[in-house]
Amino acid sequence: MNSSLDRLAAIHCRISDTIQRNVAASEASAAGKVSRFWREIFDGRKNFPDLNEIMVFRREGFTYGIGDGRQGGVEQEREHSKRMHHIFRQMVDTKFVAGIPESAFGAPYVFEHDGVARSTSFWINAATTRRVVEFVARYGKRGPLRVLEIGAGWGACAYQLHHALDVQNYMIVDLPNNLHISSVYLSTVLPERPLELLDVSGPDLTELPVGTITGCLPGTVSRIRGKFDLVLNSFSLQEMDLDTVQAYINWVGECLSDDGIFVSLNSHGKAGVTLPSDYGWSKFHIHHWGAFRTSPSGFLNTIPYEVVVSRRRPDSPEYPADVQNGLGGLMQLGLDRDLEDHCSRFVTGSLGDDERRMLCDYARLFAAESEDKRSDIVSQLQSRDPSPVWPYIRAHIALVKEEHAAWAGHLAEACQRGLSGFARVRANVMLAARARADNRAPPMISINGFDPTFAYPEVARMVETGDVSPMLSQTKRVFGYP
């Protein structure tokens, strides 16, 4: 038997040759087109590590954009790890993380939290993995799963899902720069799973071998006619051009098994998808729609929404596009728990007429092209929405107008009405910054042991200086202000 280094060298060579042989044909396809977003990522990082580099790829810049960010040194990594653990321990418990071993391959920076030594990216991906496992248990198929992941990054979630689910076979479709890393990683850390690599050209494939991991470039999808019980995309459809997204969505519609589910963790407004309805979810049966992550990794990050769909059924309701756009827009300002009832009634087709009109008004508010139209819609919402959502949104509009007393007053009203979740954290931060600007002692803003000034350096700066301009910039982006 060859030594492990010889095996790694052989795998590395085989993967590199396959990618080089197929890259041009893949990029010529609709699914394989590299978006401007990803071209900028690739231009700003190292790509295609050689044999020496692949053994330490997780601390050498090769995972920028798909996992381990560049922190600048071990002490910076340690502080970043503390902050991310503080955020993600809200979404995944230590027992779940400890139940999945992390490989030393790739030389990650590892720090101990709650008695468990794991990398920062492992904790972050574990929150995604745990959520996918929950969705499978709630909506998916029982028994061995045929899994397809579109955009697997460096392979963290794929690795974790092999430990958390009963996986029959696993296919990864990804851009060449990322497929190179994930294929080497997974074939190394899951050596019992033979690695299959597909060419773009060839006969149709209806089945994949049991027990394998299969890697291929996006241009290969036209060959793949098999069925999958779980399809996953996390945070990459949102980074593609719209025609690429539509090509993938149409393909998923064809390759989902009768009882399969597609889990999408994506947002809008980052690349080709400008509205939630652009994804085309109405052609599926929607099981679930909600905000993903009770706290994002960055305070002002784009917030993805989790959508779980399956094949459309005779009893599937209609899913109004304007309701999708209203809910997705509201989530971008941190609203989550206060939208749960709306989301539940949306997916079950049980929205009342007044509730639907209200959510449509929010969609119109985000799309308004003039201040006069925006003001008219705000007036309508004031009478239609008695929840904390309306004063919270009204506060952000006042923020854009730099009506400081008004936005602080609206936020206080939202809190009095019971604003919750991450929106409450955001409101507390803004009110604390306002107090500082007025030379008043800022109130405590920690909630249930979660301290945003520790988790987010940008929050600490806002509270210390009273400058909420970063939130102003984000609000303008969400509402489409120039």
210: CATH: 3.40.50.150
- Using DSSP bridges, classify how beta strands 256-266 and 228-234 pair: parallel, antiparallel or unpaired: parallel
**Winning range, highest mean pLDDT, from 57-61, 251-255, 380-384:** 251-255
Q: Which residues pair with 112 in a beta bridge?
A: 117
Of 277, 396, 391, the residue nearest 333 (C-alpha): 396
Q: At 68, is the pLDDT very low, low, confident or very high (cuts 50, 70, 90)?
A: confident
Asked if the model's pLDDT at residue 2 lies above 60, the reply is no
Average pLDDT over residues 199-214: 96
In a domain, residue 107? The reply is no
Q: Evaluate the CA torsion angle 275, 279, 283, 287 in order and state its sign.
A: negative
Q: Please check whether residues 279 and 220 belong to one and the same domain.
A: yes
Q: Which two three-digit tokens encode residue 145? A: 């799963």
Q: Please check whether residues 151 and 185 belong to one and the same domain.
A: yes
In a domain, residue 271? The reply is yes
Number of domains composing the chain:
2
Asked if the model's pLDDT at residue 482 lies above 90, the reply is no
Q: Please check whether residues 312 and 367 belong to one and the same domain.
A: no
Q: Please check whether residues 140 and 261 belong to one and the same domain.
A: yes
Asked if the model's pLDDT at residue 450 lies above 50, the reply is yes
Dist CA 42 CA 305 (whole Å): 25
Q: Please check whether residues 323 and 302 belong to one and the same domain.
A: yes
Q: Please check whether residues 403 and 330 belong to one and the same domain.
A: no
Dist CA 362 CA 70 (whole Å): 38
Q: At 294, is the pLDDT very low, low, confident or very high (cuts 50, 70, 90)?
A: confident
Q: Please check whether residues 360 and 331 belong to one and the same domain.
A: no
How does the average pLDDT of the chain come out, rounded? 95
Range of the domain at 405: 355-479
pLDDT at 3: 61
Q: Which two three-digit tokens encode residue 117? A: 């030594």
State the alpha helices, DSSP H only, in 259-370.
321-331, 340-348, 353-367
Assign 203 to helix, strand or coil. Answer: coil
Q: Which two three-digit tokens encode residue 391? A: 């004063």
Q: Which two three-digit tokens encode residue 63? A: 């995972």
CB 411 within 8 A of CB 431: yes
Asked if the model's pLDDT at residue 275 lies above 50, the reply is yes
Q: Please check whether residues 319 and 407 belong to one and the same domain.
A: no
Q: At 315, is the pLDDT very low, low, confident or very high (cuts 50, 70, 90)?
A: very high
Instruction: For the chain, give the percent of residues with pLDDT over 70.
Output: 99
Q: Please check whether residues 36 and 177 belong to one and the same domain.
A: yes
Residue whose token pair is 């038997």: 1
Residue ending a domain, choose from 288, 318, 350: 350
The 3-state DSSP composition of the chain as helix, strand, coil percent (nearest 5) reads 50, 15, 35
Residue ending a domain, choose from 311, 330, 350: 350
Instruction: For the chain, give the percent of residues with pLDDT over 90.
Output: 91
Q: Please check whether residues 382 and 305 belong to one and the same domain.
A: no
In a domain, residue 91? The reply is no
Q: Please check whether residues 297 and 314 belong to one and the same domain.
A: yes
- Helix axis angle for 469-479 and 389-400, nearest 10°, is 110
Average pLDDT over residues 449-470: 95
pLDDT at 1: 38
Residue ending a domain, choose from 319, 350, 381: 350
Q: Please check whether residues 276 and 369 belong to one and the same domain.
A: no
At residue 259, what is the residue type?
Answer: D
In a domain, residue 92? The reply is no
pLDDT at 261: 98
In a domain, residue 415? The reply is yes
Average pLDDT over residues 27-44: 94
Average pLDDT over residues 184-191: 96
Average pLDDT over residues 376-397: 94
